[in-house]
Amino acid sequence: MIICTINYCTDEKYKKNKIQELIYIVTLVVIVQIVTKITGNSSLGVIVIHGILLVYGAIVFKKDPLGATIGFSIIYLFININLLICSNIFYEYIVPHIPDGYIEIGVLIFLYLPQYIMTYFVLLKRKIIYKLYRTIKSKNFSAIPLILVTVIIDFINSFNLIIHDIDNPLFKELIFLLLGIFMAILTIYFANIEKKAREITKLNNALEEKVNELKKVKHDYGAQISYLYGMHLMKKYDRLGELLKDIIDGHNNITSDVRVTDDDSVIAMIVNSIDNKGINIIVDEQADLYETGISEMELQRVISNILRNSITAIKSNGVITIKTYYGLNNIIIKIQNNGPKIEENIIDKIFEVGFSTKDDKGSNHGFGLAIVKEIIESYCGNISVSSSEKFTEFIIKLPFKN
């Protein structure tokens, strides 16, 4: 049901032919049987098989992993909701009224048979599943929430087995350990979402201020244009020329960049002293950098050198984010920009004295990042850089002062 449904829903160019589909089905059946033989009909078996099914689907349909995850999640939810309803009815209302010798027959009738019936209708009505699949995919949802929902269903079914005392006792403690790990991962995931949401909120507030500024300018210009038109009607051209010159001289201070900073931030003062050439800069300072012992002037040299390199690399409208936060034994400064990727063959050289990617290598280029590294290491800290197609990130770690 899982393989056939995913194959039916996925884009035409990713579909498997009948022979491939059969091979994948047989292979999956064998893998699941082996795992079931090892773990038994246990809560651990439920979670392990879920992981296998998820990874298997992603491997088989690796060219469309999101589609495979959506298709799998829909079917997996159907299977587990069906199981949850039927198992509760069976163990709560059927088992107490039938002899022990008929339990296995009851399992076949009340647990397995409903799954086969559901499988028949799912395969028969795949167009309905496809409509549901297409609706979810068109919403541009991430695969992660779908996976989280199916994992939650797994834990519900696992605890259902534990509650009805039909789980392997050896696996009960392990299930609680896995639940703890899952909750920790869930907490980190939503904490990252909240952090990104705060950044977006800050940027939106800054953009809103810029829009309001432009509205004021528009209103001001509207009034002045009406006045200038009056000068034109009165044919006072000399006065008109003087007024136009005053307008040009008086409104050249409107900038196109957005800076989101904290007024009492140390880094904010450094940012505001730099010509950012239209690059948007966001500062989120959560740590007191004075706790590291680095002097303000040294910090200025470090931050400004990295910022100038970032601004030069972006070359057009972009975003630079600067964050500070506490580590266990140090304070971390993270500077990220969405400029072009630094190629792997040069990324290890950027802190070397005299190394530069600029064309005029004979001038005073290639010393900024070398100075940064020297300053950081003089305070027993370290600096690293990573780069991808999405962003380049400098991470500075400075230990606390004694």
CATH architecture of 259-399: 2-Layer Sandwich (3.30)
Could you say which DSSP state residue 141 is in?
Answer: -
Higher-pLDDT residue of 384, 58: 384
**Residue 119: which H helix or E strand, with range?**
helix 113-124
* DSSP reduced 3-state for 395: strand
**DSSP summary character for residue 167:** S
8 A C-beta contact, residue 240 and residue 228: yes
Say how many C-beta atoms besides its own lie within 10 A of residue 233's C-beta.
8
pLDDT mean over 54-68: 85
Amino acid at residue number 205 = N
Q: What is the pTM of this model?
A: 0.50
**Tens of pLDDT, residues 353-365:** 766 655 555 555 5
Q: In sequence order, which ranges of 251-322 are alpha helices (DSSP H)?
A: 266-272, 296-314
In this predicted structure, the answer to whether residue 68 has a pLDDT above a threshold of 60 is: yes
Q: Which of 304, 306, 282 is nearest to 369 (CA)?
A: 306
3-class DSSP assignment, residue 48: helix
318-327: pLDDT as tens digits: 788 888 888 8
Contact indicator for 14, 67 with CB cutoff of 8 Å: yes
Q: How far is CA 96 from the centre of its chain?
A: 49
Q: Rounded to an integer, what distance in angstroms lies between the CA atom of residue 38 and that of residue 171?
A: 12
Q: Is pLDDT of 25 > 60? A: yes
- d(C-alpha 67, C-alpha 137), whole Å: 7
Nearest one of 310, 368, 359, 362 to 339, comparing CA atoms: 310
Return phi, psi of residue 30, to 5°. Answer: -60, -45
143-181 pLDDT, tens per residue?
Answer: 778 788 888 888 887 787 777 676 667 677 777 888 888
pLDDT class of 27 with cuts at 50, 70, 90? very high
The per-residue pLDDT for range 70-111, each reduced to its tens digit, is: 888 888 888 888 888 888 888 888 888 888 888 889 889 998
pLDDT at 258 over 50: no
| Per-residue pLDDT at 263 exceeds 70 | no
Lowest mean pLDDT: which of 277-281, 307-311, 313-317? 313-317
Pairing of strands 259-260, 382-387: unpaired
Say if CB 293 and CB 317 are below 8 A apart.
Answer: no
Within 315-367, residue ranges assigned H as helices are: 344-347
Share in percent of the chain as helix, strand, coil (round to 5): 65, 10, 25
Task: Say how many C-beta atoms besides its own lie within 10 A of residue 337's C-beta.
Answer: 24
The mean pLDDT of the chain is 80
Burial 97-120 (b: 16+ CB within 10 A, else e): eeeeeeeeebbeebbeebeeebbe
Three-state DSSP at 294 gives coil
Measured at the alpha carbon of residue 97, what is the angle toward residues 94 and 101, in degrees to the nearest 5? 90
**DSSP SS3 for 201:** helix
pLDDT digits (tens, 9 = 90+) for 112-151: 999 999 999 988 988 888 888 887 777 666 677 878 888 8
| DSSP code for 325 | E
- Judge whether 353 and 370 are in contact, CB under 8 Å: yes
What's at 67, amino acid-wise? G
Which of helix, strand or coil describes residue 336?
Answer: strand
